[in-house]
Amino acid sequence: MLLQVKPRHIFFALSAFFVAYSVSIYMRPYSIAENINFNKAKAGEGKLVWQKYNCQSCHQLYSLGGYLGPDLTNVISHPGKGELFVKAMIASGTKQMPPFKLSDKELSALLEFLKAADKSGKADLRNFKTDYFGMIEAK
């Protein structure tokens, strides 16, 4: 005798799948590092400096922003770049980027902000892979 599939069977099966899938998603560990170590208050001030000089109009953070200049999310940890490089870029500018005259306080806050951005994410898509379920994970 064949089991007759009724609409309610499909409904309950789909509901069970939905619940199981939701549980599996919410059980996933946070992929963001928990002990990110930076001065939150100072990074907050640095964000205001970032906004005051409108760096975002030409630069991206986490791949979002203007596209005249490069993404600055990981400029601090980038081999060959880092704090001194950022300071030099701000002070001297290039053909395409205007120089900025920041006070020492503004500059150190801005660097703390960029450090926080660096520690909290990666902008380069090559750092990520897509798993079997279509979820994006850090490599």
Chain residues binding ligand HEC by CB under 6 A are 53-55, 57-59, 68-70, 72, 75, 81, 86, 89-90, 94-98, 100, 110
**DSSP letters spanning 36-99:** --S-HHHHHHHHHHHHHTTGGGT-EETTEE-SSS-B-TTTTTSTT-SHHHHHHHHHH--SSS--
Task: Read off the tokens for 106.
Answer: 């503004």
Minimal distance, residue 114 CB to ligand HEC, in Å: 7
Minimal distance, residue 19 CB to ligand HEC, in Å: 46
Q: Toward ligand HEC, which CB reaches closer, 90 or 117?
A: 90
Minimal distance, residue 33 CB to ligand HEC, in Å: 22
